């Protein structure tokens, strides 16, 4: 799982890559410990389960590390 400075969260659920944005919750009242009602966006699937997902500090690129390979991609929001 990775979150950039803009509030975008990217995670892998098995081989599926998904994304949510917590900035969409600005207008909602959320109590401490409550589940966040995030709108999840499917980013696609991988052939292999990623071991690590990380954002570049500028938030534009996402790095996915597999067993012995590395994949860089643009964060398409």
pLDDT 10s per residue in the chain (77 long)?
A: 888 888 888 888 888 889 999 888 877 788 889 888 888 999 888 777 777 788 877 767 776 776 666 555 555 54
- Can you give the pTM of this predicted structure? 0.70
The full length of the chain comes to 77
Q: 47: domain range? A: 2-25+35-74
pLDDT score for 59: 65
CA 46 vs. chain centroid, Å, equals 14
5 φ, ψ (degrees, to nearest 5): -70, -15
pLDDT score for 72: 56
Domain contains 20:
yes
The tally of domains found in the chain comes to 1
Domain contains 45:
yes
Domain contains 44:
yes
Domain contains 30:
no
Token pair for 66: 């597999």
């Amino acid at each position: 799982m990775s979150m950039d400075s803009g509030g975008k969260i990217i995670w892998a659920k098995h081989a599926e890559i998904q994304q949510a944005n917590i900035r969409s919750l600005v207008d909602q009242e959320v109590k401490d410990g409550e589940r966040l009602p995030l709108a999840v966006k499917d980013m696609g699937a991988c052939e292999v389960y990623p071991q690590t997902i990380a954002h570049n500090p500028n938030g534009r690129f996402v790095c996915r590390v597999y067993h012995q390979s590395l994949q860089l991609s643009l964060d398409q929001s």
